[in-house]
Amino acid sequence: MDQRSKLLRKMIVEGLEGGGRGHLGSSMSLVEILRVLYDSYLKFDPANDKWEKRDRLILSKGHGCLALYAILADKGFIEREELKTFCRPEARIGGHPERGKIPGVEASTGALGHGLPMGVGMAIAAKLRKEDHRVVVICGDGEINEGSVWEAAMSASKHKLSNLTVFIDYNKLQSYGQTKEVLDLEPLADKWRSFGFEVIEVDGHDVNALEEVLKQLPVNNEKPTTVICHTIKSKGFPYAEGKAEWHHKSNMKPEEIADMYKCLD
């Protein structure tokens, strides 16, 4: 990891320290995906988060919100100091992102399977209004067990939503075990192709590779695109990487937080 990826992870740890809890594993696998989207692809204005020409990003796996809050703080939508209020009674940044409450959040998510249906609606609306903004939806791999995801995928294909891109955070783990044991997703790329999507697979922690993917979008002017990002849950913390028990942590101890900072230093 370079210094920027470490900085964003450190900002996530600041949120974990402030709230004493949070979805560590689910946030750390997202960092490079969000980083590259906000650094190299999305059009936005932190001073006007309702700017009509902005691109829309929906974090459908809303429990990974600490990664989103970190990038929103990095880009100036919220103050970095606010990360330390995460999940406190007086805070506006809670365990799932809320539209209308947190600047830069396009949709209230957390009930899994809802982000892609909302994204499809936004993409259809943009087509009907002849607007050129793009819609990005980030889904978790466990999340796509939900049938609503595949209903939305059929609709996206039918309406030829080339302005829609779905990123899958494919870290191979969900809340209580490996995806291949809970409900096997493979052959994942072929599934999305069969639903009418163009599909790209990439190392979800390789910034350069992700940037090259973004240069290809839209892959097909008649189809939506799915980018399957192969990631590692809890990336950046060797003792937690690839372990389902780090999906979420409560009552985090000061020594645990200190160990996390040490990993990033």
Taking only the tens place, the pLDDT of each residue in 35-53 is 999 999 999 999 999 999 9
Distance separating alpha carbons of residues 103 and 117, to the nearest angstrom: 22
pTM for this prediction: 0.97
Question: What sign results for the dihedral spanned by CA atoms 63, 88, 15, 211?
Answer: positive
Taking only the tens place, the pLDDT of each residue in 74-102 is 999 999 999 999 999 999 999 999 999 99
Helix intervals (H) in 42-146: 65-75, 115-128
Distance separating alpha carbons of residues 113 and 143, to the nearest angstrom: 6
Give the pLDDT mean for 54-78: 98
Determine the CATH number of domain 3-264: 3.40.50.970
Distance separating alpha carbons of residues 192 and 199, to the nearest angstrom: 7
User: What pLDDT shows up at residue 135?
Assistant: 98
Taking only the tens place, the pLDDT of each residue in 220-252 is 999 999 999 999 999 999 999 999 999 998 999
- For 50, counting Cβ atoms within 10 Å of its Cβ (0-12 exposed, 13-18 middle, 19+ buried), the class is exposed
Strands of the sheet with 56-59, listed across from one edge: 56-59, 135-140, 164-170, 225-230, 198-203
Cβ atoms within 10 Å, residue 123: 25
